[in-house]
Amino acid sequence: MADQKKLVAEITSMDEDFTQWYTDVCIKADLIAYSHIKGFMVIKPYGYALWENMRDILDRRFKATGVQNVYMPLLIPESLLQKEGELVNGFAPEVAWVTAGGTEPLTERLAVRPTSETVFSDFYKDDVHSYRDLPRLYNQWCSVVRWEKETRPFLRSREFLWQEGHTIHATREEAEQRTQQMLNVYADFLAEDMAIPTIKGQKTDKEKFAGAESTYTVEALMHDGRALQSGTSHFFGQKFSKAYDITFTDRNNTLQYVWQTSWGATTRMIGAMIMVHGDNRGLVIPPHVAPVQVDIIPIQQRKEGVLEAARHMADVLSGFRVKVDDSDKSPGFKFAEQEMRGIPLRIEIGPRDIEAGTCVLVRRDTLEKTETPISGIENTVAEILDTMQKQMLEKARNHMEDLTFEAKTTEDFYRHFQSGRHGFVKAMWCGDPACEEKIKADLGVTSRCIPFEQEQISGTCVCCGKPAKKMVYWANAY
Quick one: which of 168, 88, 162 has its CA closest to 135? 168
DSSP class per residue in 33-54: EE-SSTT-EEE-HHHHHHHHHH
Residue 40 vs 405, nearer CB to a second copy: 40
373 belongs to the binding site for a second copy (CB under 8 A)? no
User: How many residues comprise the chain?
Assistant: 478
Residue 9 vs 33, nearer CB to a second copy: 33
Closest distance between a second copy and the C-beta of residue 437, in Å? 23
Ramachandran category for residue 112: left, alpha or beta (phi over 0 → left; psi -120 to 50 → alpha): beta
**Contact pick of 57, 74, 314, 316 for a second copy (by CB under 8 A):** 74
Residue 97 vs 452, nearer CB to a second copy: 97
Using CB under 8 A as the binding rule, the residues of this chain from 79 to 98 that contact a second copy are 80, 92-98
Residue 114 vs 451, nearer CB to a second copy: 114
173 belongs to the binding site for a second copy (CB under 8 A)? no
Q: Which stretch binds a second copy (CB under 8 A): 155-163, 304-312, 407-415, 457-465?
A: 155-163
3-state SS class at 208: coil
Residue 424 CA to residue 476 CA, distance in Å, equals 8
Q: Which helix (H) or strand (E) holds 392?
A: helix 377-402
**Contact pick of 8, 27, 49, 57 for a second copy (by CB under 8 A):** 49
3-state SS class at 84: coil
Asked if residue 270 lies in contact with residue 257, where contact means CB atoms within 8 angstroms, the answer is no
343 belongs to the binding site for a second copy (CB under 8 A)? no
Quick one: which of 399, 474, 444 has its CA closest to 222? 399
Q: Which stretch binds a second copy (CB under 8 A): 121-129, 169-177, 271-279, 318-326?
A: 121-129
145 belongs to the binding site for a second copy (CB under 8 A)? yes
129 belongs to the binding site for a second copy (CB under 8 A)? no
- Tell me which DSSP letter residue 463 carries: T
**Contact pick of 19, 20, 130, 143 for a second copy (by CB under 8 A):** 143
**Contact pick of 33, 356, 367, 434 for a second copy (by CB under 8 A):** 33
138 belongs to the binding site for a second copy (CB under 8 A)? yes
100 belongs to the binding site for a second copy (CB under 8 A)? yes
Q: Which stretch binds a second copy (CB under 8 A): 34-42, 231-239, 393-401, 434-442?
A: 34-42
DSSP class per residue in 139-181: EEEEEEE---SS-BTTTB-SEEEEEEEEEEESSHHHHHHHHHH
Residue 99 vs 456, nearer CB to a second copy: 99
Residue 260 vs 460, nearer CB to a second copy: 260
Residue 138 vs 429, nearer CB to a second copy: 138
Residue 398 CA to residue 401 CA, distance in Å, equals 5
**Contact pick of 112, 175, 199, 276 for a second copy (by CB under 8 A):** 112
Burial class of residue 30, CB neighbours in 10 A (0-12, 13-18, 19+)? middle
3-state SS class at 300: coil
Question: Taking the mean position of all CA atoms in its chain, how far away is CA 230?
Answer: 5
**Contact pick of 2, 15, 102, 456 for a second copy (by CB under 8 A):** 102
Residue 99 vs 379, nearer CB to a second copy: 99
Beta strands, E only, 222-344: 227-237, 247-249, 255-257, 259-266, 294-298, 322-324
| φ, ψ for residue 437, nearest 5 deg | -65, -40
Residue 66 vs 465, nearer CB to a second copy: 66
Q: Which stretch binds a second copy (CB under 8 A): 157-165, 257-265, 401-409, 425-433?
A: 157-165
Neighbours of 347 (CB within 10 A): 25
Asked if residue 119 lies in contact with residue 241, where contact means CB atoms within 8 angstroms, the answer is no
**Contact pick of 70, 356, 367, 434 for a second copy (by CB under 8 A):** 70
Helices 45-63, 172-192: crossing angle, 10 deg rounding: 140
Residue 77 vs 431, nearer CB to a second copy: 77
Q: How many residues bind a second copy (CB under 8 A)?
A: 53
Closest distance between a second copy and the C-beta of residue 33, in Å? 7
Would you tell me which residues interact with a second copy (CB under 8 A)? 33, 35-37, 40-45, 48-49, 51-52, 68-77, 80, 92-103, 109-110, 112, 119, 122-123, 126-127, 138, 142-143, 145, 147, 158-159, 161
